[in-house]
Amino acid sequence: MTDSFEQPVNLPHAALVTERTRHRLHLDLSDGSHVQLGAIIERLDTLLAPTAVAESHSEQQDRELLYCAAADLARALVFGIEELGLGDPGIGQAARKLFECLALGREGAALSLRAGESPDSPQRPR
C-alpha cells in the first residue's frame, strides 16, 4: 500500500503554489511586520522558478540543496504566517501542498494546521 503522504517532487508546481500564496496573503508591505514575510515569499519564489533539471550526479546534488533551501523557506513562511495571524483554511492548504511538492507531505500535513488548515479538511491525507 502506498503512503498517502508520498508525492513526487514537483518544483514547477511548488513555484505556482508559492505565487498563489503570495496573492492570497494580501501582504501590506508598508507594514513592517509584513516585510519579512514578503521577503521569505520572494526568496522562495526566486528559488523555485521552474527550470529544467537534468539527472546528472552533480545536478542531483544541486537539486538536493535546492530542496533543503526551499523546505527551510517554506517552514519560515508557515511560522511567519502563524506569528502574524494571517492563516486561514486556504493558506493552510497551500502550505500543505507546497510541502507535498517538495516531497515532505507528512511534515506539511502537520505544519499546515499552523497556517490555518482545518484538521477536518477532506483534502488532508489520511
Q: How far is CA 87 from the centre of its chain?
A: 13
Task: Indicate whether 121 belongs to any domain.
Answer: no
Distance CA 63, CA 76 (A): 20
Task: Indicate whether 3 belongs to any domain.
Answer: no
Task: Indicate whether 16 belongs to any domain.
Answer: yes
| pLDDT tens digits for range 95-107 | 999 999 999 999 9
C-alpha cell recorded at residue 112: 499546515
Task: Indicate whether 1 belongs to any domain.
Answer: no
How many structural domains comprise the chain? 1
Distance CA 91, CA 126 (A): 19
Task: Indicate whether 51 belongs to any domain.
Answer: yes
Residues above pLDDT 90, as percent of the chain: 54
Task: Indicate whether 5 belongs to any domain.
Answer: no
| pLDDT tens digits for range 36-85 | 999 999 999 888 875 544 444 456 667 788 889 999 999 999 999 999 99
Task: Indicate whether 58 belongs to any domain.
Answer: yes
Task: Indicate whether 109 belongs to any domain.
Answer: yes
Its domain, for residue 106, covers 11-114
Distance CA 73, CA 80 (A): 10
Question: CA gyration radius for the chain?
Answer: 15
Q: What is the mean pLDDT of the chain?
A: 85
pTM here is 0.84
